[in-house]
Amino acid sequence: MRTVLLASDHAGFEMKKTLLAHLESRGFDVVDHGTHSTESCDYPVLAHKLCEAVKHTGCTGILICGTGIGVSITANRHAEIRAALCFTELHARLARRHNNANVLCLGARMTGTELAGAIVDAFLETRFEGGRHQRRLDMIQQRT
- pTM, whole model, 2 decimals? 0.95
Choosing among 3.40.120.10, 3.40.1400.10, 3.40.50.1000, 3.30.9.100, the CATH entry for 3-141 is 3.40.1400.10
Residues involved in catalysis:
65, 98
What digits encode the pLDDT tens for the residues 34-90?
Answer: 999 999 999 999 999 999 999 999 999 999 999 999 999 999 999 999 999 999 999
Query: Which residues, at least 6 apart from 79, have a Cβ–Cβ distance to it below 8 Å?
Result: 141, 144
How confident is the model over 117-136, as a mean pLDDT? 92
Per domain, the residue ranges of the chain are 3-141
Nearest to 50 by CA among 35, 67, 29, 40: 35
Burial 90-106 (b: 16+ CB within 10 A, else e): ebbbbbbebbbbbbbbb
